[in-house]
Structure 1
Amino acid sequence: MSCFRLPLSLCQLLDKLVARFWWGAEEGQPKIRWVSWPNMCRSKHEGGMGFREFEHFNQAVLAKIGW
């Protein structure tokens, strides 16, 4: 992940897997969604949980390598 640009579809799949971990439903019992996904992805200084979207994170790592 740190040397290649990941396809958008793979980044979205990884985001879905993380969201499913937090909000996934067990058999017959859905988990409660206390906070929306965009709010969870906000930085901790802005009141979010600091999760990173994989597309933006991958782009930032590639920019850091290029620097």
Structure 2
Amino acid sequence: MTCTVAVPVLDCDGRPIAAVGAVVHTVRVEPAKLAPPILLAAEGIAARLDCIAGGADGAAERARAHGRTHND
């Protein structure tokens, strides 16, 4: 028997733009144990896409919004 575990990759506005998932044999892996690493992967992809889309200016704006500067 197989099971699919998937989570969305969200853009900076929280809209889904892609998904990350895995299909596993439930005899070998507990699907519930896959959710946290798949979620972490989706969050990492979203963060990288945001950096690419925002470029250096976007990163600088986000840093200022969080009270950080290049000297911090």
| Higher RCO, Cα 8 Å, sep 6+ | 1
Higher strand proportion (structure 1 or 2): 2
Higher helix proportion (structure 1 or 2): 1
State TM-score, norm by structure 1: 0.32
State TM-score, norm by structure 2: 0.30
Which structure has the larger Rg over C-alpha atoms?
Answer: 2
